[in-house]
């Protein structure tokens, strides 16, 4: 299957949207090339503002633009936009429910050799906890294009996380044509276990399910790119069918996808659950593939662990 860059897809889609939506203003935090908003900056210099390494100020400016009727999008590394500028996101964006779009790239472990200071293993938890905030984690480049359009159309605070590296195209192969916030996708169907993933882990979840199928274990594979709001209807229907649920994310298992699923299940249909992710530790420096392997977040390492969970 083909691999593509979600960041590149995001940057290209911004250009397309800018032609249709003159109110769109983009702000960067001195990382325009890394976040792929450099394409927008070159085409529309009068609609782009580089705040420099001052993410708090960038968020304040975005809030002001939103209050003035513009549609601002602020982009930086996920760790900076959700952690360094957290107070400003909370007080200036989420609290007044302003229409500000936040995009965090290099999310999860994908900042790789930049190390723990740049790896946002807690960004979804930080954003999920904020009232009024919507949180997205598209699976691949194709879904990123669709999610970017849905984000700009959405009214209210919204955060989207993207990885640094290229990702296998899985949602694109499904023929998905529209991203609906609050709606998940069923990529594979089975009765033995429900595997739920988001972002870069969706491709791994599909490979895990394919490996399980060789042992006559059929899995429901759900792509939950909308973390908040979560598609609880799809989740509960699958959990009722399989009786076992697994979540996979490149994020701490506290407060992210696994936390959202656990909360929904406990309210609606208590079900046996196993969450795979970053186990309450910070990241470390290394090659991308080595970091994911070290955390057990590769299909090769996940498949036997999921099998073990099913057979308990």
Average pLDDT, the chain: 95
What average pLDDT does range 163-167 have in this prediction? 92
Phi-psi region of 160 (alpha: psi -120 to 50; beta: other; left: phi over 0): beta
Can you give the pLDDT at residue 64? 98
Give the pLDDT confidence of 106-116 residue by residue, as tens digits.
999 888 777 67
- Total Cβ atoms within 10 A of residue 17: 17
Can you give the pLDDT at residue 110? 86
Distance (Å) of CA 230 to CA 137, 138, 224: 11, 13, 7
Annotation says 16 is catalytic: no
| Residue with token string 């935090």 | 29
Q: Say which residues have a Cβ less than 8 Å from residue 101's Cβ, sequence separation at least 6.
A: 71, 72, 73, 74, 151, 152, 154, 158, 160
Q: Which residues pair with 101 in a beta bridge?
A: 73, 158
Give the pLDDT confidence of 239-273 residue by residue, as tens digits.
999 999 999 999 999 999 999 999 999 999 999 99
Please answer whether residues 105 and 232 qualify as being in contact, where contact means their C-beta atoms are separated by less than 8 angstroms: no
Nearest to 82 by CA among 62, 49, 59: 59
Give the pLDDT confidence of 60-118 residue by residue, as tens digits.
999 999 999 999 999 999 999 999 999 999 999 999 999 999 999 999 988 877 767 78
β-strands 134-136, 226-228 pairing: antiparallel
Nearest to 244 by CA among 275, 223, 205, 216: 275
Of residues 42, 46, 55, 300, which has the active-site annotation? 55
Can you give the pLDDT at residue 118? 80
Give the pLDDT confidence of 16-71 residue by residue, as tens digits.
999 999 999 999 998 999 999 999 999 999 999 999 999 999 999 999 999 999 99
Q: Whole-angstrom Cα distance, residue 248 to residue 274?
A: 9
Q: Say which residues have a Cβ less than 8 Å from residue 217's Cβ, sequence separation at least 6.
A: 190, 192, 193, 307, 310
pTM: 0.96
Please answer whether residues 40 and 11 qualify as being in contact, where contact means their C-beta atoms are separated by less than 8 angstroms: yes
**Which residue ranges form the domains of the chain, and what is each CATH number?**
3-167 (3.40.50.970), 172-310 (3.40.50.920)
Q: Whole-angstrom Cα distance, residue 65 to residue 71?
A: 7
């Amino acid at each position: 299957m083909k691999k593509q860059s979600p960041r590149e897809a995001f940057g290209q889609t911004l250009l397309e949207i800018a032609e249709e939506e003159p109110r769109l203003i983009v702000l960067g935090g001195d990382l325009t090339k890394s976040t792929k908003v450099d394409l927008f900056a070159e085409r529309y210099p009068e609609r782009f503002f580089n705040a420099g390494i001052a993410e708090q100020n960038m968020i304040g400016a975005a809030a002001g633009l939103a209050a003035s009727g513009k549609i601002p999008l602020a982009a930086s590394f996920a760790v900076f936009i959700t952690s360094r500028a957290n107070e400003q996101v909370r007080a200036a964006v989420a609290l007044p429910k302003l229409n500000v779009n936040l995009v965090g790239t290099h999310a999860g472990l994908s900042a790789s050799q930049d190390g723990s200071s740049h790896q946002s293993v807690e960004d979804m938890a930080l954003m999920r906890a904020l009232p009024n905030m919507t949180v997205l984690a598209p699976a691949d480049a194709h879904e990123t294009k669709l999610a970017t359009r849905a984000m700009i159309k959405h009214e209210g605070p919204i955060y989207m996380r993207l990885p640094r590296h290229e990702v296998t195209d899985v949602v694109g192969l499904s023929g998905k044509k529209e991203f609906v916030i609050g709606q998940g996708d069923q990529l594979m169907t089975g009765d033995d276990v429900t595997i739920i993933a988001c972002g870069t882990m969706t491709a791994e979840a599909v490979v895990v399910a394919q490996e399980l199928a060789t042992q006559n274990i059929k899995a429901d594979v759900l792509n939950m790119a909308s973390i908040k709001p979560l598609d609880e209807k799809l989740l509960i229907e699958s959990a009722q069918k399989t009786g076992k649920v697994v979540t996979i994310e490149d994020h701490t298992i506290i407060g992210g996808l696994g936390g959202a699923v656990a909360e929904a299940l406990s309210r609606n249909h208590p079900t046996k659950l196993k969450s795979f992710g970053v186990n309450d530790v910070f990241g470390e420096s290394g090659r991308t593939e080595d970091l994911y392997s070290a955390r057990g977040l590769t299909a090769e390492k996940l498949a036997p662990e999921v099998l073990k969970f099913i057979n308990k």
